[in-house]
Structure 1
Amino acid sequence: MTVDSLGFVESMCTLPEQLTHAHEVAHEVHVDLPPRGSVDNVVVLGMGGSGIVGDIVAAVASSLPVPVITLKRYRLPAFVGPRTFAFAVSYTGNTEETLTMARDALEVGARLVAVSSGGALAELAASADAPHFDCPDGYLPRAALGALLAPVMVVLSRAGLYPEGHAELVKAQEQLARRRDECRPQVEGPKNPARELARRIGRTIPLVYGGGAIGAAAAQRWKQSMNENAKAPAFWNFYPELDHNEVCGWGQHGDVTRQVLSLVELRHGFEHPQLGRRFDANRALIEETLVQVLSVRAAGQSRLAQCLDLVHLGDWASTYLALDNDVDPGPIDAITQLKAELATHDGVNATESTRLSRRD
């Protein structure tokens, strides 16, 4: 195996157990739950591998009586206020945008729950007497999905907003273990679905299409994992939205796209019946402009199980794509360099610009 300097593969192998442990310990944290009828909206504040938690919750928790909105920005929208249940999620606890939003959420009276491995977010929660769920140290943020996701699901379940959250987590843990066992490094060749996907994608650029909310969340994560793990460009979209714009973009430059773009379709068992027809019709229109079309179908017994199954498979495929091309999947040098540049910039910093205008 090519160099894996940060032990990223081993971290991925432990995801099912990580989710199980986080699910168990989340029940031990005291949270003053909002009275019934006092919450108008749930917001998840987070970026990157932490922010995807909000996208997954919004996708799978379709029975929530209030909307779930993921905010990936600096400034809060005006609807955030005293009747908002806000989850600030940052593995390091030091994500600039998340901290800015969390401080402002407290200022406007939102009920805040923090999830991190420490850092300034933990300090902020302590100063505000807000609950903080402590994640284990030693993970890269994108490899800590289980530790970040379980507390949000447990709190929503305990608050009565998503009673099925516990059962969803149990089913997801079981499916993640099955998928991990199929994809771990000891399984070689075509028997390993992630290795086979990586082999077929090869040096092409993946374009990932999902169906509905679950497929959209998974497709977004696939794109992120291809970027961070394989250090490769990737793009994503979802049905039905893409059939109202992107489908027209294949009318030109087919001589170029058919040499470089591989379409990966992410399918799941909770699709609206019309989505399957859209997959088929769209594929027939654009297939000749692509290198190939690869189809992946989720397994699992619940919405969360199938969403995380697709996510986990994509994480593995992107990691094998890195290793197949002699790329270290762990380090993210471009992001590290960008953060260093922003930290030393002489211009107006994020906190000051937010002070000047807290709302979009």
Structure 2
Amino acid sequence: MSEMEEGIIRLATALDKQDMIKFTRAFVSDIRVGRESVNRELLPWLDQIDTGWTGVLCLGMGGSAAGGDFLSVLCDESGAVPVRCHRGYDLPNWWTPDWLIIATSYSGNTEETLEACQFAIEHGATIIVISSGGELSGMCELSDSVHLISCPSGQPPRSAFGHIFSRQLAFLVEIGILQTEITEQALERLQVAVEDNDIITYPEGDVASLALNLMQNPIAILGPNELMPAVNRFKNQLNENSARFARIGAIPEMNHNEAVAWGGVGDDQDPEAAEQALLFLSWEGMHPRVRQRMDWFVSNCPTELAWKIHGDGETLLESLLHLCIMTDWLSIALALLHGKDPSAIEPIISLKEYLAQMNQ
């Protein structure tokens, strides 16, 4: 066994105290179980709410909010109504009760989501709760207009994305807003991706090697509009799992502003442009002109540290999930190389404790 292989395995044994690696390995099985948890036999209340919605408003914070972004781009591609995401204590002023609400809090105790839901209930909302328990789940017992789709508990919310998103997706498919189901064949391909990118099985593989190259440089992530949910989730995984900043940008929009700071053509560029580690997220379904814009940027950006992470898949949904798998493993590898437990989030815990004291 090489020194690098021994190093990654030793770091994982010493640092991964809350089993982030185990949860990452379970991603596809979580999706499969979640997909099968939403049907009219198990949830007869679905018959009450499956028609007539103007749109869907997704409430949530952090890892519990990510699924809403994915639903939004999928509905932009092929949905019957728009899906909008809202992160905060309130509701948008334009919201009306003909917009169905999906409120997601893995713990069930996210204060922003609880306050927004209380306001929504008082103003006639129909709410679908995705949660493992807590106060949010309890709201379902107090109001006939609030319905629960439960998740298994016991892990960090960001690692429960498979549990959460599969239920959100299956719900929108069940009520006819989306037709985009994930097939068993796609799940089998995604399981291969989970295994092929496993940093313990392959401690000298592409993921661990890329993580080594990201250790000393600022990180920037670019991708097309339809992949921005995966881009943003990757940024958040780097923030929480790896304790690293990451800059993100959307193509083509960043071509109209941020491209000047990157430079590479002419004399002007940000002083740190050449020091950036630049990651492009891509998939086969990109608009041809977006692909050309990305190719130009690869050719002209000033940094020599640039990589493309390609989301394999026959659909946008599969490609997005494939990117989640690869970037989750990458964020964990980077955490271990930095000597960090990928589950540790002390500043977030400290902030919650401070806010709790303010309520006393």
TM-score (norm 2): 0.89
Distance 1:304 1:170, change over 3 A: farther
Structure 2 Cα separation of the partners of residues 217 and 136 of structure 1: 23
- TM-aligned CA deviation for residue 236 of structure 1: 1.1
Kindly report which structure 2 residues correspond to 1:116-127, keeping only aligned pairs within 5 A, or say none: 116-127=131-142
> Is contact 2:230-2:323 (8 Å) kept?
yes
Query: Partner residue of 2:278?
Result: 263
Q: Is it true that 1:311 corresponds to 2:311 in the alignment?
A: no
- TM-aligned CA deviation for residue 187 of structure 1: 2.8
Query: Partner residue of 1:15?
Result: 27
Query: Partner residue of 1:237?
Result: 249
Kindly report which structure 2 residues correspond to 1:33-44, keeping only aligned pairs within 5 A, or say none: 33=47, 38-44=52-58
SS at 1:32 equivalent: helix
Match among 121, 126, 134 for residue 150 of structure 2: 134
> Is contact 2:59-2:65 (8 Å) kept?
yes
Query: Which is worse superposed, 141-150 or 178-187?
Result: 178-187
Runs of 4+ with deviation above 6 angstroms: none
> Is contact 1:220-1:237 (8 Å) kept?
no
Distance 1:126 1:169, change over 3 A: farther
User: Percent identical across equivalent pairs?
Assistant: 27
SS at 1:322 equivalent: helix
SS at 1:331 equivalent: coil
- TM-aligned CA deviation for residue 71 of structure 1: 0.6
Q: Which amino acid in structure 1 is aligned with residue 312 of structure 2?
A: A
Q: Is it true that 1:100 corresponds to 2:107 in the alignment?
A: no
> Is contact 1:114-1:121 (8 Å) kept?
yes
Query: Partner residue of 2:5?
Result: none
Query: Partner residue of 2:163?
Result: 147
- TM-aligned CA deviation for residue 275 of structure 1: 0.7
Q: Which amino acid in structure 2 is aligned with residue 187 of structure 1?
A: T
SS at 1:144 equivalent: helix
Query: Partner residue of 2:180?
Result: 164
> Is contact 2:106-2:130 (8 Å) kept?
yes
Structure 2 Cα separation of the partners of residues 30 and 231 of structure 1: 43
- TM-aligned CA deviation for residue 15 of structure 1: 0.8
Q: Which runs of 5+ in 2 are unaligned?
A: 1-9
Distance 1:40 1:341, change over 3 A: same
How many residue pairs match? The answer is: 340
Give the aligned CA root-mean-square deviation in angstroms: 1.9
Query: Partner residue of 1:56?
Result: 70
- TM-aligned CA deviation for residue 171 of structure 1: 5.0
Q: Is it true that 1:83 corresponds to 2:98 in the alignment?
A: yes
> Is contact 1:30-1:131 (8 Å) kept?
no
Q: Is it true that 1:68 corresponds to 2:68 in the alignment?
A: no
- TM-aligned CA deviation for residue 121 of structure 1: 0.5
TM-score (norm 1): 0.89
Structure 2 Cα separation of the partners of residues 80 and 42 of structure 1: 10
